[in-house]
Structure 1
Amino acid sequence: MSVRIIADSASDVSQELAKEWNITILPLTVRFGEEEYYDGVTLSNDGFYEKLIETDEFPKTSQIAPFRYEEAFCQAKEAGDEVVCLALSSALSGSYQSACIAAEEFEDTVHVVDTQEVCVGYYILVAEAVRLRNRGKSAAEIAEALRKLVPKVHVIAVFDTLEYLKKGGRISGAAATVGSMLSIKPVISIVDGAVAVLGKARGSKNGNNMLREYVKQAGGINWDYPVCLAYSGLSDVLLQKYIADSSELYAGHEDQFRITHVGATIGTYAGAGAIALAFFES
């Protein structure tokens, strides 16, 4: 019996990479006003950021409904596969609950894991699930290993602007205005499954310094596990600058980390110019 890995587009695993890894990525729904799209399927990441810039409509993403999980689980069952389903943090979305509801019909053949992550943190857990599957682990063994690894995931990001946090109601208009005037970059992490502000940096250079300091405080990067860097917007220039400025962290490991493009789930609040890093603690 083969193992089928199912996740969603909040992991920022592209449909192209999903084919390479032989996994299923269910797209979240993204709405701009009355227009509705499937994240990464009918709306590319570049297309999302173009709309974010061009339109006054603030985008909204919708969780995956139980019936869509059920469809994916049925397809796996018909193929004779067990399932490991990784879900977006239950503190941020109802997708995990939807997956659990759908899994009730499949007894012990579907194992649902609450990643307690989004974006790059979610990404590296999916990557680890793929690695364990390729090593011949069963669905139950993969799910158990992932649940033990969830608390060991570290995520840190620097947003380039406060504008979209303001539009999404996450901060006040006054705070966003002052922050923009002072070139304040919010430093973000995922704590207990939810988005948390770790601090505020004056300018991109200080933001990059905070990223490097966070890695050191966490005990460094465990290169025995997946590592991922990410950028938002239409260009990865800021991310490449961070990598160059942080060469001491990545020296000798240039071929061991992946770079992904932040999609709609986090891009809605980050806007363009954000960079992020996810790794497992040593």
Structure 2
Amino acid sequence: MPGTAVVVTDSTASLPADVAESRGIVVVPLQVVIGATVYDEGPEGATPEMVAEALREFRPVSTSRPSPAYLAEVYAKLAADGAPEILSVHLSAEMSGTYESALLAVRDAPVPVTVVDSRQVGVATGYAALSAVDVLGAGGSVAEAAEAARARADAATSLFYVDTLEYLRRGGRIGATAALVGGALAVKPLLRIQDGRVVSLDRVRTSARALSRLEDLVVEAAGEQRVDLCVSHLANPDRAGDLAGRLAERLADNLGGREVWCGELGAVLGAHVGPGMVAVCVAPLLRS
């Protein structure tokens, strides 16, 4: 809406398209490179199915950030459309150069742009962007909205199970030693995002035990708080759906009638975790 500060985020925030559109959030795509072809992440470009297939076939898959020039164009267009200020909320700078691109783009922006490093990956960044919109919608300043985004992201817990650490190793998101140990022991790793990075949380012998442990960890993270909850997967819909159903029952009081989001992880993040991954984000609501 002209005259109102606009929130920008990136495609790794994993917001459903209808949610982003209805809340006025502008989503900037990251890119996926499959073989020699570059695609924007999204339904018209790189999809999770494409990435999962390429990984299974051992075709080269990599990802790249949006360029500073591209983000500068986005900011300029929003300014031309009447945005007096922009708040740009992005995935962890420890995991991607997107935050750095945004900082560089700010130099050429015709209106003030505040850039937030969520220190998170996936829908935890999306929830941070939504909280920023809530603050702006209630008449808060961009500075207050940025603080709300940081607080929501900091309070969120992002946990995930992977079939193998190999894809994270290839992308440099986890150390080669950790990947080697995990493979040698034939364990199913449980991981989390901590201080903006992927860290090892636990190792479990079977997939079933790993997902059961993941469920318990999510319930523990929720505690007595009111929360939003999202279950994501890559090429593992049955297990993700079962987990979402169990969590909806166990955390019914925490959810207060809000639905558990459940869907396939985006292509960019999927490229780094591989088929079979199941992730859960539990994001406590900010106190009014």
Taking structure 1 as the reference length, the TM-score comes to 0.86
* Contact 1:231–1:273 (8 Å) recurs in 2: yes
1:57 aligns with 2:59: yes
Match of 2:230, SS? strand
Q: For each residue in 1:206-245, what CA deviation from the matched residue of structure 2 results, as whole angstroms up to 9, or x when unmatched? A: 212322332344352632x533221112x41111121344
1:192 aligns with 2:195: yes
Q: Give the drift of 1:257.
A: 2.8
Q: Give the drift of 1:142.
A: 0.8
**Hey, what does 2:282 align to over in structure 1?**
279
Q: 1:35 aligns with which of 20, 34, 37?
A: 37
Question: CA separation in 2, counterparts of 1:221 and 1:5?
Answer: 30
**Hey, what does 1:25 align to over in structure 2?**
27
Question: For 1:7-156, what aligned pairs fall within 5 Å after superposition?
Answer: 7-40=9-42, 41-54=44-57, 56-81=58-83, 82-106=85-109, 109-156=112-159
1:178 aligns with 2:181: no
Relative distance call for 1:131 and 1:258 in structure 2 (3 A) is farther
Relative distance call for 1:103 and 1:14 in structure 2 (3 A) is same
* Contact 2:23–2:133 (8 Å) recurs in 1: yes
* Contact 1:124–1:227 (8 Å) recurs in 2: no
Q: For each residue in 1:98-124, what CA deviation from the matched residue of structure 2 results, as whole angstroms up to 9, or x when unmatched? A: 111211344872111110011122222
Q: Give the drift of 1:190.
A: 0.6
RMSD over aligned CA atoms reads 2.6
Question: CA separation in 1, counterparts of 2:47 and 2:142?
Answer: 31
Q: 2:208 aligns with which of 197, 205, 225?
A: 205
- Out of 166-175 and 112-121, give the one that drifted further: 166-175
Q: Give the drift of 1:163.
A: 4.3
Q: 1:229 aligns with which of 217, 231, 240?
A: 231
What is the identity, as a one-letter code, of the residue corresponding to 1:12? S
* Contact 1:128–1:226 (8 Å) recurs in 2: no
* Contact 1:159–1:275 (8 Å) recurs in 2: yes
Relative distance call for 1:20 and 1:108 in structure 2 (3 A) is closer
Q: For each residue in 1:135-192, what CA deviation from the matched residue of structure 2 results, as whole angstroms up to 9, or x when unmatched? A: 343323211222233321211111133442354464467546435xx4x221111110
Match of 2:160, SS? strand
Relative distance call for 1:281 and 1:24 in structure 2 (3 A) is closer
5+ long unaligned stretches in structure 2: none
Count of residue correspondences: 276
Q: Give the drift of 1:60.
A: 0.8
Match of 2:163, SS? coil
* Contact 2:160–2:280 (8 Å) recurs in 1: yes
Taking structure 2 as the reference length, the TM-score comes to 0.84
Question: CA separation in 2, counterparts of 1:174 and 1:102?
Answer: 39
**Hey, what does 1:267 align to over in structure 2?**
270
Relative distance call for 1:194 and 1:251 in structure 2 (3 A) is same
* Contact 1:221–1:281 (8 Å) recurs in 2: no
Percent identity, aligned pairs only, is 26
5+ long unaligned stretches in structure 1: none
